[in-house]
Amino acid sequence: MDNLSPEVIVVIAVVVVAVFSFFGRKRQPKERMFKCSRCSAVSAHTPRTIEAWRAGKTKFFCNTCHGQWLRSHPPQAHSDRLAYSGRAGNSGCFGVAVLFILLPALFVTAWWAYA
């Protein structure tokens, strides 16, 4: 795409902003901090606890207790928890979603630019 017109750049920018605002609308807990249900330490919410909050959980565990919990449970018993326990899992999911939305948009804009 060597003849990028301002219109095409605007369309790409709008698509990117739309994608990010779509993902930015995900629900967040009202409080930024939570009290660990195990050791009562006050910690800031992490992507893991926010995910648990969205799933309807009312008890949250700090990273230390969560790590201990993971070590004391066999991996196959909580494979669904492992799926969203790390940043890598979340960003991978996010990347795939962005790709699925961005690719068709890029095809449309490329077609529009050359038509």
81 binds Zn ion (CB under 5 A): no
Q: What's the min distance (Å) between Cβ of 42 and Zn ion? A: 10
Amino acid (one-letter) located at 109: T
Build a one-symbol-per-residue string for 25-64: x at contacts with Zn ion by CB under 5 A, - elsewhere.
Answer: -----------x-xx-x--------------------x--
Binding-site residue total for Zn ion (CB under 5 A)?
6
Q: How far is CA 74 from CA 1, 9, 51, 69, in A?
A: 51, 50, 21, 10
Q: Which is nearer to Zn ion, 3 or 40 (CB)?
A: 40
Q: Which is nearer to Zn ion, 41 or 110 (CB)?
A: 41
In the three-class reduction of DSSP (H, G, I as helix; E, B as strand; rest coil), residue 33 is classed as strand
All residues at 6 or more sequence positions from 59 whose CB lies less than 8 Å from its CB, including other chains: 37
* 105 touches 9 (CB < 8 A): no
Q: Which residues bind Zn ion (CB under 5 A)?
A: 36, 38-39, 41, 62, 65
